[in-house]
């Protein structure tokens, strides 16, 4: 791709070169991915900003489809948009027409712009969605809580295929069924499928080393192909039935089971008939948890939206193979002035940026560029995608049901948010803060006699706990006396804020943050689980780092007899105090502290468990999973490997003389050969 100049430092790209190492279009299909290469480090030297700057750019823009970015003076991307004609679309910002407050503010803050042309408008739409998710511009509609969906995987390369829960890239060979709305929905389905089809769920290493059936076989959850309790042919039938059931042929599978049950009963083989009875009951259990199962919807995602009080809730139901595989609610970040149709249209393009697209998408109402979005998703997925707004019949009823779910979820979130805002305001009043905090960080340590020490940090904000911001700190210092809580807290605080200063700089706390700013990286308040001693140590650390005025530190000490409700609070500039036993702010702080305690203990237990199961072979350089498995299968245990002679190590498949010598020397300091 080659770059053409736009006035005094702006950049416009054409498509004479397919070189692309930016990674911004990586989720597009090869057929539809435009070449993208945004410039870095250029500066606007015109001295113009806002509408005047945009007007200067417009003079040099082509009547071609593409994507534009609006950038502020600090280099932050404010907005990403796509256009059928860059010249006409960007020109609208410079014509002085009446804009909404949101657009007017965005134009005023624009100090630079960047552009990329694409071959078609559909490419521009896909690239726009990809960039919005990657850059998260402040003035775009932003999809939040964008976790990948779980699937059910039935492997295909094994002699005895297994059934697993799967999330992430589909690197393993097998058949994938989904998406499911949640890991819980997958877990319940697999649990019932185990009872219905008796397919193994163990790992390949466990399967290969079993010498007798496991407990799952005893409780009739597995047919135990590992020890030959079932023939390979009969096990293949069970696998085929499971795939048929998940592929939408559930009625045929149930009819075959019913016939087999009746035949066994007629032959007076009541034990075998009872097995089929239990399997039928398990299949009914799967479908009873699926709620509505419309006959007329084979493969579709159904959306509903409720937009009120400055909050949008989008509910999506997943239907695959004629079965309802769950639903999920989303709360995208959007300007309150936007309509439901605008929010939903922007949401859909981002939603399918990295997810498989069904053949049908059902919406509650019209959105802008519905046909263009359908065409773009068809190009991306490689099959025809229909986006419909049903007006009557079963599909209309399903959409109405999804809308009702969106309204209910919206009401619950609005109530939770209002409650959280009241608590944060009460928190600010209790501790005489200059403004309502938007980010509170809570710290706690966990260890046993100083071993496997871990510091935990949890984060809370206007919408509750922000779990993707949680952090754990494995205590590394060897100078800390085991059990020295002050020393551990000193290490955690130093590591946390040294990195924050390096990445974000020290914030100006003289003015409260703007309400439309993104969730801040810097905390307004830090809560420390400890009394005056802990607070003295923490304040000394903040002073040494030069950030004592940038963050408010508060200590929470357990009350007399460690009784909840009698906590003492320590804040700078005032004597320690307690809150009334039934004060809502007290309950709020207790909840924050308990969450930090839970997270720290969980992190400590995970570290301790990892230490307990660590294998001595893990410490040897060059011994990866394959060689480790070969050694353990040959010798049985790591202890036996440590006692093995050099010649014995060399007989293991995949272990050369050099590697054998390395293993031997690791366990034998003198290096003398043992025979």
The reported pTM is 0.66
Which fold would CATH assign to domain 300-412? Nucleotidyltransferase; domain 5 (3.30.420)
Q: Give the per-residue pLDDT at 99.
A: 65
Question: What are the pLDDT digits (tens) for 1-52?
Answer: 333 344 433 434 333 333 333 333 333 333 333 334 443 333 455 567 778 8
> Starting from the edge strand earliest in sequence, which strands make up the sheet with 151-155, in order?
163-166, 151-155, 174-177
Q: Give the per-residue pLDDT at 564.
A: 61
**Torsion, Cα of 38, 42, 46, 50 (10° steps):** 50
Gyration radius from the chain CA atoms: 31
Domain with residues 440-597, CATH architecture: 2-Layer Sandwich (3.30)
Q: Give the per-residue pLDDT at 3.
A: 37
The Cα 627–Cα 639 span in angstroms is 16
Q: Give the per-residue pLDDT at 617.
A: 75
Domain with residues 616-667, CATH architecture: Orthogonal Bundle (1.10)
Question: What are the pLDDT digits (tens) for 268-301?
Answer: 777 767 777 777 776 665 555 455 556 667 788 9
Asked if the domains at 300-412 and 440-597 fall in one CATH topology, the answer is yes
The residue ranges of every structural domain in the chain are 3-135, 151-288, 300-412, 440-597, 616-667
DSSP track, 569-584: EEETTS--B---TT-H
Q: What are phi and psi of 555, to 5 degrees?
A: -100, 140
The Cα 404–Cα 424 span in angstroms is 30
Q: What are phi and psi of 59, to 5 degrees?
A: -60, -25
CATH class, range 3-135: alpha beta
DSSP track, 647-663: HHHHTSTT--HHHHHHH
Low-confidence ranges of the chain (pLDDT < 50): 1-43, 289, 675
Q: Give the per-residue pLDDT at 169.
A: 74
């Amino acid at each position: 791709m080659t770059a053409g100049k736009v006035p005094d430092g702006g950049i416009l790209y054409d498509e004479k070169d397919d070189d692309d190492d930016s990674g911004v279009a990586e989720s597009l299909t090869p057929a539809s991915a435009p070449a993208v290469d945004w410039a870095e480090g250029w500066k606007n030297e015109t001295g113009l900003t806002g509408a005047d700057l945009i007007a200067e750019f417009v003079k040099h823009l082509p009547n071609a489809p593409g994507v534009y970015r609006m950038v502020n003076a600090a280099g932050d991307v404010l907005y990403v948009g796509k256009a059928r004609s860059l010249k006409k679309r960007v020109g609208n910002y410079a014509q002085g027409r009446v804009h909404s407050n949101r657009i007017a503010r965005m134009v005023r803050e624009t100090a630079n712009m960047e552009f990329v042309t694409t071959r078609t408008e559909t490419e521009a739409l896909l690239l726009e969605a990809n960039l919005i998710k990657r850059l998260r511009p402040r003035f775009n509609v932003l999809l939040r809580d964008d976790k990948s969906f779980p699937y059910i995987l039935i492997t295909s390369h094994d002699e005895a295929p297994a059934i697993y829960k799967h999330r992430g890239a589909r690197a393993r060979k097998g058949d994938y069924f989904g998406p499911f709305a949640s890991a819980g929905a997958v877990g319940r389905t697999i649990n019932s499928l185990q009872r219905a089809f008796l397919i193994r769920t163990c790992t390949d290493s466990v399967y290969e080393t079993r010498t007798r059936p496991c407990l799952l076989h005893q409780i009739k959850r597995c047919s135990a192909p590992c020890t030959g309790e079932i023939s390979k042919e009969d096990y293949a039938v069970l696998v085929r039935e499971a795939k048929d059931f998940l592929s939408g042929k559930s009625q045929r599978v149930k009819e075959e089971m019913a016939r087999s049950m009746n035949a066994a009963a007629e032959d007076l083989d009541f034990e075998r008939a009872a097995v089929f009875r239990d399997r039928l009951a398990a299949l009914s259990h799967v479908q009873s948890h699926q709620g509505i199962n419309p006959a007329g919807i084979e493969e579709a995602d159904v959306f509903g939206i409720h937009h009120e009080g400055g909050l949008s809730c989008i509910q999506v139901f997943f239907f695959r193979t004629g079965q309802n595989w769950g639903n999920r609610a989303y709360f995208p970040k959007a300007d309150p002035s936007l309509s439901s149709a605008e929010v939903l249209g922007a949401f859909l393009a981002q939603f399918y940026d990295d997810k498989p697209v069904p053949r049908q998408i059902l919406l509650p109402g019209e959105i802008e560029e519905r046909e263009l979005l359908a065409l773009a998703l068809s190009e991306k997925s490689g099959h025809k995608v229909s986006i419909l707004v049903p007006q009557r019949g079963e599909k209309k009823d399903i959409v109405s049901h999804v809308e009702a779910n969106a309204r209910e979820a919206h009401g619950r979130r609005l109530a939770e948010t209002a409650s959280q805002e009241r608590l944060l305001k009460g928190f600010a009043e209790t501790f005489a803060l200059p403004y309502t905090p938007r980010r509170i960080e809570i710290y706690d340590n966990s260890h046993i006699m100083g071993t496997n020490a871990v510091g935990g940090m949890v984060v809370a904000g206007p919408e509750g706990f922000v779990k993707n911001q949680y952090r754990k700190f494995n205590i590394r210092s060897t100078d800390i006396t085991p059990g020295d809580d002050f020393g551990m807290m000193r290490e955690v605080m130093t590591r946390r804020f040294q990195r924050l200063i390096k990445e974000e700089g020290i914030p100006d706390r003289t003015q409260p943050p703007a309400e439309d700013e993104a969730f801040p990286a810097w905390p307004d308040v830090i809560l420390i689980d400890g009394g005056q001693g802990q607070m003295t140590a923490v304040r000394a650390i903040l002073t040494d780092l030069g950030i004592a005025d940038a963050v408010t530190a508060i200590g929470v000490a357990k009350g007399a007899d460690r009784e909840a409700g009698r906590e003492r609070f320590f804040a700078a500039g005032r004597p320690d105090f307690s809150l009334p036993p039934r004060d809502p702010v007290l309950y709020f702080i207790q909840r924050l502290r308990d969450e930090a305690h839970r997270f720290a203990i969980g992190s400590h237990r995970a570290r301790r468990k990892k230490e307990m199961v660590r294998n001595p072979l893990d410490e040897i350089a060059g011994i990866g999973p394959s060689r480790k498995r070969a050694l353990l299968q040959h010798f049985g245990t790591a202890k036996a490997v440590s006692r093995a002679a050099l010649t014995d190590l060399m007989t293991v498949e995949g272990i050369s003389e050099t590697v054998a010598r390395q293993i031997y020397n690791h366990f034998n300091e003198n290096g003398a050969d043992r025979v």
